[in-house]
Chains A and B, each alone.
Chain A
Amino acid sequence: MSGNLALDAEIARLTDLFQQAGGQLVDLPVLQPAETLLDLYGEDIRARAYVTHDPLAGEMMLRPDFTVPVVQMHMQGGPSPARYAYAGKVFRIQELDSDRPPEYDQVGFELFDGADPAAADAEVFALFSAAMAHMNLRAVIGDIGILLAAVRGLSTPDFRKGALLRHVWRPRRFRALVDRYSGRAAKPAGRAELLKAFSEGRDVLAKAGPLIGLRSQDEIEARLKVLVADAAEPPLSAAETDLLDQIVTLRESAPMALERLRDIAVDMPAIAPAVAKVEARLDAMAQRGVDVEALEFEGGYGRTSMEYYDGFVFGLSSMARPDLPPVATGGRYDALTRALGGGAAIPAVGGVVRPSLALQLAEAGQ
C-alpha cells in the first residue's frame, strides 16, 4: 500500500478498536482558544504550539494534543462517566528537533470514570498494549502520584511543599529547590541583613524607591514573612531528600519496583496509599492478562511531558529506535478535569497512538 493508504488503514484499525472498547467517536476543533492552553501550561506552550489569530475570538492555537479539548468538551456536559475515541492531526513546533514532523496523526481513547481507578488504568493500558501487540515494543510505566505523595509527606512547611509540587514537572527546577531547602544553595547577597531588618520592624521598603506596578506593599511584606519563616526552618533532612532521589531514579521491573517502593514507604509512610494504588493497578493488569513481569517501572517517567498526568503514566516505545518518541503514551489526569471542570471533577485516564510512527517502525522491520 502507498503511504497514505497504509496510514488511513492504520488510523481506521485503531479508531475501530477504540470504538469497540466503548469509545464514542468525537470530532474536535483544530483551533483551540489560546487562553485555556496558556492558563494550563504558561508561556512555554508558545514554543510548542502554533499560534494564530481570529478577529473575533482572539488568539487561537492549533491543537497540540487532544486530551485538553476532550476534557473541555466532556466537562461542559458535567462530570459523568464516559468513553471517547478520536483521530486527527496535532500540531507541534519542532524547533529543537527539526527532523520531527510539525503535524502528525494521533488516534486516542479517553475513559472518564471514578468507580474503580485501578481497573480503569489497567483497562486503558491493556487496550493500548493489545492494539500494538503485533509490534515488539518496550512498555514503561510509572506513577507521578508517588512523587506527589512523597513531597506532600515531607516534614517541611506547606510553603515549601507548595513550591516543590508546582515544579514536579520541571525536574531541573525541582532539583534546585530541593538543594535550596537542603541548605546546599547560596543565599542572595544581602538577604540575611534584609530579613533581620524586617524582623526588627524596620521599614525596609521606605528607601527602596517608590512602589510602582500592581504588586502591593502587602504582597511584598507577606513574602518577606515567608522568607523569614523559611530562613528559620531547618534544612530538609538528608534522609528525606535521599528518599526523593530513590523515587525519581527508580528503574526496575514492575514487581521489583513495587518491592522497592514498599521499602521506601517504611521510612516515608506518606507514600503508602500511593504505593497501594500501584499494587492494585498491577493486580488489575495481571487480571487482564498483562505480563506485569515484563513491564519496566520508572519513578521519574512522565515528568517532562505535558504536565497534566498526575498518577499512572505509560509509554510504548521502539526498542531498536530509542531516539524516536514513544509510539503510544498515556496516563491519568484527574486534576486536569478539575482545572477545566469549573469546580466539578471526575477521575480520568487515556492515551494516544501515533500511527505514522508505528508504520515507520513496521516498515523498517523494527
Chain B
Amino acid sequence: MTVKLGVPSKGRLMEKTFDWFGSRGVTLSKAGSEREYSGVVEGVGGVELVLLSAGEIPRELHRGRIHLGVTGTDLVREKLAHWDQSVKELAPLGFGHADLIIAVPRAWVDVETLDDLDAVASNFRRLHGHRMRIATKYHRMVREFLREHGVADYLLVDSQGATEGTVKNLTAEAIADITSTGETLRANHLKIIGGEPVHRSQATLFKSRNAHWADGERDAYRAMMRMLDLDG
C-alpha cells in the first residue's frame, strides 16, 4: 500500500506545488503525456501522486481516500463542516495567497464597515421589498462571518464565476469573493469593506484525519515528513 498525496491537477497551483516538493528533494511530475492525470513521485518511496481538481481535494481528504493533499485553506473551510475534525494543517506552502473579501460599489461612500453594511441592509430591505443580495460561491464562510458580526437582512445568491459583474448586472448589491490583487474589483467599480478579510487563504499541505494508515504507509509518511522537514 502507498501513501496517497493529492495535488491540484493543473495550472500554477500544480506547478508551484511541484516546485515546493521538488526543492525539498521530493520530485513530483506528471506521467506520460501532458493530458494524462497520473503522476510520478521520485526521491521518496511508498508515496503515490493523485492529481485532482483543487476543489475535490477537501472532500477526498474528508473521506480518507487520500492521506495528504494540497489545496487552499478557503476550499477546506468552505467545503468541510468542522474542517479541523477532518483534516490537519501540516504546512502553509507560501503561495496561492488570496483573501476572501466583501465588496460594495465604490459609490457607496457611506459604507466602510460591517456595521455600515448591516445598517444599509436594513434600509435596503425596507425600500426595495427584498433583502440585500450578496453574490458569492463561499456560502458557508460568508454566512458564518456575517452571523458572527451581526449582519442581518441579507441574502446570499450563488455566483460561480464573474462575480464582480453581478452588481452592474443588477443581480446582486454586493459580492463576497476571493481577490489576490484587487484589480478586478477596481475595474468593476467595487471596493473592499471591513477591516480584516473574511478569510486569508493560501495553498496548504493537509493531512486527513479519516484515512486508514497501514504500517508501511506510516513509514513512508515519516520518511517524507523528514525530507520535507515537517513534524507531521
Contacts and interface: CB of A to CB of B under 8 A. Distances in A.
Interface centre among A95, A166, A215, by most chain B C-beta atoms within 10 angstroms, is: A215
Contact of B143 (A47, A163, A172): A47
Nearest to A172: B150
B154 interface: yes
B146 to A, nearest CB: 7
Interface string B166-190: 0110101100000000000000110
Interface residues of B, number: 41
A53 interface: no
B35 interface: no
Interface stretch (B13-21, B49-57, B101-109, B223-231): B101-109
Interface string A184-203: 00001111001000000000
Given A47-B143, A176-B150, A215-B124, A163 B119 contact: yes
A209 B107 contact: yes
B144 to A, nearest CB: 8
A61 to B, nearest CB: 15
Given A212-B107, A213-B173, A42 B131 contact: yes
Contacts of B107: 205, 208-212, 217, 220
Given A43-B146, A212-B168, A205 B109 contact: yes
Nearest to A216: B127
A46 interface: yes
Interface stretch (B62-70, B110-118, B199-207): B110-118
Contacts of A190: 112
A213 B173 CA distance: 6
Contacts, number: 103
A206 to B, nearest CB: 10
B147 A47 contact: yes
B55 to A, nearest CB: 21
A173 B106 contact: no
Given A44-B147, A172-B150, A215 B120 contact: yes
Contacts of B144: 47
Contact of A219 (B112, B113, B123): B123
B109 A188 contact: no
A47 B148 CA distance: 13
B41 interface: no
A194 B110 CA distance: 8
Contact of B81 (A95, A176, A209, A214): A95
B110 A163 contact: no
A47 to B, nearest CB: 6
B153 A209 contact: no
Given A42-B154, A47-B147, A167-B152, A210 B110 contact: no
B155 interface: yes
A36 to B, nearest CB: 14
A204 B188 CA distance: 20
A220 B105 CA distance: 11
Nearest to A170: B150
A359 interface: no
A38 B155 contact: yes
A214 B170 contact: yes
Q: Identify whether the interface residues of A are mostly helix, strand, loop, or mixed.
A: helix
Nearest to A217: B107
B156 interface: yes
B125 to A, nearest CB: 9
A204 B109 contact: yes
A288 to B, nearest CB: 38
Nearest to B152: A42
Interface in B128-164: 128, 131, 139, 143-144, 146-147, 149-150, 152-156
B150 A44 contact: no
A339 interface: no
Contacts of B149: 173
B76 to A, nearest CB: 16
A126 interface: no
A170 to B, nearest CB: 5
A214 B128 CA distance: 9
B124 A219 contact: yes
A166 B147 contact: no
A41 to B, nearest CB: 9
B109 A220 contact: yes
B105 A211 contact: yes
15 contacts: A43-B146, A46-B143, A170-B152, A172-B150, A173-B149, A204-B109, A208-B107, A212-B189, A213-B167, A214-B173, A215-B108, A215-B173, A219-B124, A222-B123, A223-B123
Interface of B: 81-82, 105-110, 112-113, 115-116, 118-120, 122-124, 127-128, 131, 139, 143-144, 146-147, 149-150, 152-156, 167-168, 170, 172-173, 188-189, 191
Sorted nearest first, the 9 A-B pairs with minimum C-beta distance are A173-B150, A209-B106, A188-B112, A211-B107, A213-B167, A209-B189, A212-B168, A223-B110, A208-B107
Interface of A: 38, 42-44, 46-47, 95, 98, 162-163, 166-167, 170, 172-173, 176, 180, 188-191, 194, 204-205, 208-215, 217, 219-220, 222-224, 227
Given A95-B82, A220-B110, 10 more contacts: A38-B131, A166-B122, A173-B152, A189-B112, A209-B189, A212-B105, A214-B124, A219-B123, A223-B123, A224-B110
